[in-house]
Every structure is written in structure tokens, then in C-alpha cells.
Structure 1
Amino acid sequence: MPEHTLTERGPVTTRSALSRCIDVAEEQFAREHWGRAPLLSPAHDDFTDLLSPAAVDELVSRRGLRTPFVRLAHEGDVLAPARFTASGGLGAEVADQVSGDKVLAEFAAGATIVLQGLHRVWPPLVDFTRRLVEELGHPAQVNAYVTPPSSQGFSPHYDTHDVFVLQVSGEKHWVIHAPVHPDPLTDQVWTDHRAAVAEAGRGEPVIDRVLRPGDALYLPRGWIHSATALGDTSIHLTVGVAAYTRADVVDTLLGVVGDTATLRASLPLGIDVGDPDQLRPLVEATLADLVAALASTADPALPAARRLRARFARDTRPEPVAPLATLSAITALDEHTRVRWRAGLGGVLEAAGDRVRLTARGTVLSLPVEASPALHALRTGEPVAVGALPGLDLASALVVVRRLLREGVVVTAE
């Protein structure tokens, strides 16, 4: 969904994060490409607002980054951190801070700089990634790969997550081959199929293309790829998407039946669990009990959703909050103050007698039921003036909003 930014001339719709990564309609992307097939989007956007060569220099030389937020690789091998880190000096005696001098030496010798976790440390990417996560419904992270001229950072391999490649500057030659192990899970890494991956890498590619600034590429997990910088330093962003799978749904369903007595029973005394003949009748009986337990659960989707919601909360971060500015806003709060639901927080509102309960990322708030219309109005995400919150007089609205601000549920709307 697009975001809205207030200007002197009123609200302006901001382009969605996903639309910056693809050049087809989101419905077509979902139908034809998501988890299925690569998508090349040439000359699609300018990504230097997200990261630039100057930003890379700043991150490496002035931000005091530590490993593993930075790593270096040369011809497919990851360099030991001691080769590009040093102590921060007086007042910052941390031994593994990135050293600009050492990075320069390794980069000049052909090493690729990998800036990891930029969705946590670089503000433009913090905001971009949070919006993308909201649109995809799956966790995401961002790394940057800074490759010197005519260097290959990593040999042909596949990832266990989907990726959007956004070419920021320079040129990079990408070669893409079809999977040898489709839809790999996180523990099914490419090195388990090293020989097959190498063989596939010698075959006819599906995509053989030089990415130039503004080009974007989507690769589902499992697609084999390698890339080589051409002519000048290449910078590209890799947005990794850890898509939830049906296997994850199975895991949550197994959790749903954990209270079933027959499934908690011990296996027979003296059993050889490595003998398939002994295990086979137990597996058959367990499957039958599992199906019966799920069938007897009124709505297994409800507890499964709770478990996946808790996992999503662990895997992602909502919009940052500013502690000092928030405290000042609480102090100065009045009927004209506009507030909105904290982006990316999510949350479920449930009636509980004469109370309304809000559950969001481990936070549980109980408020008088009279606050329910105001909470539902805020939950839409649209900014609302405190004095305009439905169902509450001004005094009550001020009390409710002060608590929501203090708990990080809402933020002030600029």
C-alpha cells in the first residue's frame, strides 16, 4: 500500500516499496513471479536515495561499524575480520571496529565489501525495508555489495531466501541458472549440492545480463547466480526476503496439537528408533492421531496464526520511535495533536467484557471498552487529531493517547 506524506499542499502519495523493485503490476508479480520465476526490470528506478558511493564511504569510515555489519570477500572466500578491523582508539576500545585504512587496502586488492544489516543501521533503508515488509507480509533484510572493477565476489551459488537486486551504481554482469534444488529451506544450503550447482553453472543460463544503474532483478530462492563487476566499482543492494512457507504452517500446526495426550505418550520401552520396521506402525498411528487432533480443534488457524504472528514480531522491526521527542509530545499533548498507529506494529484488538485488549508484538494493553472506537480509528493507520477520536471526551482521549504514546503504540503525525 502507498504511504502518505504531508506537505504544505496536502497529502502526497509515496510510491510503494515493492513497486520500486519491479516493473510489472503487483498482481502480475504475485501471480507469475513470486516464488516462481525471476523478473528483470531494466532502467526501472534511481536507487541512490537508498544508498550511494558517498554513503558507503561514510558507513565504512565514520560510523564505527563492527563485524558482522561489515565483511569482506575475495574470489569467493570470506576474509578474516582481523584483516579489516582495528580498535576504535581512546574511549572506543572495541577491537572489531571496521578500519577504513584496512578496508581500502583490501578493496584495492580486489576484495568485495559487504555491508550487512543495512535495514538496521542506515535510515533510508530502515524506512524502505519496513514499508516493503508491510507490503510483502514476509521479513526482509538488506545487504550492499561493493565490488571493485572486474571482480567476482562469490562463485555460482543459490540463496535460501528470495532476493531483489537493486543496482545503485557501476555495472555488474549477472548470470542466472535454473535451480537444482527448488524452494530450499533455510537449512538446505547450496553447499549440500555443490557439485550439482557447479554443473548447472556451466550450462545454458536463463538470464545473462549486465545490470546498470537503475536496473532491478528479482530471484526466487534456489535460483543459481553469480555476478562480476565491469569497468568501474559496482554497488548493488540485495534485499533478502525470508518467505514463510507451508513447512512453517506445518510447524505451527504441530504446536497446536502439543496438548494432545496420545501424542505426548512415550515410545515403547526398548524400541530401536533407527529401525524403520519398528517405527513404521508407530508413525502410522501417530499420523492418525495427529489428523484426529487437528480435526477436533475448533479452528486450528487461530492458534497457528498466533504462533506465526509471534514469529513475525521476532523477525521484523516496526517503525522506530524517538524517546526524547515522544516524551516532549506527551508533555505538550492537546486536542490538536495528530497521532497515528506506529507503522509496522500491527496488533489485534479484542473485546474482553468491559475492557478492550490490545496485543501487539508482546505488548498487551487493557483499556476501558469506551476506548474501543478510538483504537479502531487509530488502527487504520490514518492520522487523527486527539480531539477528534470517536467515543471519548477530550479528557479521556488525552489519557488514552498519552498511554499509547508511552507504550510505543502510536506516534505523532507530522
Structure 2
Amino acid sequence: MELHDLVGPIDTLSSNWPDQPQVYQHTPDTFRDLLTLHEIDELIDSNCLAARNVVLLRKEDGGVVESHEYTDGDMPRPGTVREHLDRGGSISLRLLHTLYPRLAILKNNVQGATLCRAHVNAYLTPGRQQGLRYHYDPYVTLIVQLHGRKTWPLHKPMVERPTEEHENFRLRGWTDEEHKFLATTPPAQSVTLEPGNVFWLPRGWIHAPYAVSEEPSLHITVALKERTLSWLVEHLAEIIVRHARADFDARQVLAPADLLADPNEALEWTRKYMIGALIGLDLEATMASALNKARTT
């Protein structure tokens, strides 16, 4: 499956990269060949689901259950994942592109079309239950609803342009003021997804989805980790570092006094070296290497 099967023409997407949530409508059976509830049930009930591929989310608060509570070594204890679901808890199925070739193809096609680093997860929530509470992701989330119905209450970003390295919710959480706002303020909008719906959720948008039908909700998420200017800075820096490691002059020893007593001379040499290396870069070759890196890593 290709990205355009989910969101329409790629040229339109590339030139008008969405910064607002939007839903793409398809027929209910459009994505039945991607993943089914029956396949997930088989993984769970045959005890073939490795611990690295599943996270249990508490019914009470949406928090993550500590893995030692339900795993022995690399595998969940037999029956524990099913028992968790039966009690109303949700599960997050991680890196499904490493388990299903068709999801690996989708992941690779999405990455090739957008240059965004991608992965594929899934979420299974029992009927009328909720998994994660309000949070935001540091990447675009492309949600494909496969089974059941799920409502997504949304708030506009409180953190602009978060990344995995900067203002990541997993590390930052909420301030007291933000927590109070989310507890007392109705969502800015709500979106209810049904099978065949694809939902584009830009990074930073706050959400806390919950199942609204009696049957369980299953959706996959294709994470699109966008390339940023800081990513390109990092790529150029890596090229300069590789060049410096091979450069005879750059391999000269810095005596302790060069750093402790009077580091200015060494810093000035380094600054000029980096400026010269940047000026001397072959822009065409550098961009080609950046594009190859974006498509493959």
C-alpha cells in the first residue's frame, strides 16, 4: 500500500504539508488487508507477541503498566495480555512493521514518499474504554481506523514544534496550569473515526482518544517523524566531524593547558576550521547524501 492510498495525491501533500488535523474518507473495507482484529487476537491468544512489541495501558488513568508486572524475560506471561483487555485495559502494539511484511512495505513507502522517518504501531481499546489520556506526540500521527469507532478530543498545541529531543511530552509532562486547563476546558474540536477513516494529526496537537462503540476499537498509527532544519544541521555537522577525524592537522594533540589555561586559541582554530569546512562543502553531494539518509534511516 502507498501513502496516496491513505491521503490522496502526494504532490498536493508535499506542497501543502498539513498543519491542522484533517480526516480522509474511504469506504469501510478499504484497509481490511492492512491488519485485522482477528490477526491481533491470534497474536495475543497464541502467546506469540513478544514483550518488546506490546505495552499495557491502565484502564484507571491510561498510564503504562510496568513490564515486570506481566512479563517473564522476553515474553508476556501466558494469558496476561488477554486478561488485561478483559478488564478494560488498552494495549499499544509497537513496531508492527517488524512483524507484518505488508506493514513494512507501507512504512517504507511512506518514508520514501515523505522523507520522514516512519514506524507503525497499533492500538486496541475495549468497547467504551479509554487508553492514553491527554498527551501530544513529537511527530505527525497518521491514524488508520480499522475496527470499531473512536472519538478524538483535541486541543491546540501548548508547545510549538516539539521534537523527540526538545519538549518531548514523555520527558516534559504537563505544568500545573496546563493540567488544570485540560481538566476544565472543553476540547477545541472532536473527531470520531470509523473504519475507512484516515486521520492526519500534526505534531504537538493534544489528544486523548476513547472508544465510543460497544465493540473494540483497533487502529494503526503511522508515525511521520519530520525532518527539520536542526536535522539538516546535524547532518552537515556529521560530515564535518568525519572530515576532521581524517584530517592530519585536526588530529593534533590538545595539551591540558590548551583547554584549561588558555582555550581561546584552540577554539578560534576550531571555529575557522568549521567555517572553512562548511564553505568547502559540495552542496550537490551533501544534499544527495541527506536525501539518501532521509529515505533509508
TM over 0.5: yes
Q: Which residue of 1 aligns with 2:156?
A: 178
The code of the aligned residue for 2:202 comes to: P
SS of 1:209 mapped into structure 2: strand
User: Does residue 241 of the first structure (1) align with residue 206 of the second (2)?
Assistant: no
Deviation at residue 228 of structure 1 after TM alignment? 0.9
Higher strand share: 1
Aligned to 2:238: 255
Residue in 2 aligned with 1:192?
172
CA distance in 2, matches of 1:256, 1:312: 18
- Name segments (4+ residues, structure 1) moved above 4 Å: 260-268, 281-289
Matched, 1:142 2:123: no
- Is 2:19 aligned against 1:29? no
Structure 2 residue runs of 5 or longer lacking an equivalent are none
Distance 1:214 1:271 in 2: 66
CA, structure 1 residues 207+26, in 2 after alignment: closer, same or farther (shift >3 Å)? farther
Contact persistence 1:61–1:98 (CA under 8 A) = no
Q: % of aligned pairs identical?
A: 26
Q: Within the alignment, does 1:68 sit opposite 2:52 as a pair?
A: yes
C-alpha offsets along residues 230-249 of structure 1, whole Å, 9 cap, x if unaligned?
13211111111222221111
RMSD: 3.1
Letter in 1 for 2:172: D
Alpha-carbon distance, 1:283 to partner: 7.7
Contact 2:51 2:74 in 1 (8 A): yes
Q: Post-superposition shift, 1:200? A: 5.6
Question: Cα–Cα, structure 1 residues 211 and 100, in superposed 2: closer, same or farther, change >3 Å?
Answer: farther
| Cα distance in structure 1, aligned partners of 2:157 and 2:270 | 34
Residue identity opposite 2:274 in structure 1 = L
The residue aligned with 1:412 is none
Instruction: Give me the whole-angstrom Cα distance separating, in 2, the residues matched to 1:301 and 1:206.
Output: 45
Instruction: For CA contacts below 8 A with separation 6 or more, give which structure has more relative contact order.
Output: 2
Trace 1:9-408 onto structure 2 (pairs within 5 A). 17-22=2-7, 24-34=8-18, 36-43=19-26, 46-62=30-46, 64-74=48-58, 75-85=61-71, 95-99=73-77, 101-188=79-166, 189-190=168-169, 191-195=171-175, 198=179, 201-202=182-183, 203=185, 205-232=187-214, 233-258=216-241, 259=243, 268-270=258-260, 290-297=274-281, 299-303=282-286, 305-306=288-289, 309-310=292-293, 312-313=295-296, 315=297
- Counterparts of 2:195 and 2:39 in 1: how far apart (Å)? 16
Alpha-carbon distance in 2 for matches of 1:231, 1:31:
37
1:59 to 1:157, Cα distance in 2 relative to 1, 3 A: same
Take 2:193 and 2:269, find their aligned partners in 1: how far apart are those partners? Answer: 55
Shift of 1:270: 2.5
User: SS of the counterpart of 2:124?
Assistant: strand
Q: Tell me how far apart the structure 2 counterparts of residues 200 and 57 of structure 1 sit (CA, whole Å).
A: 38
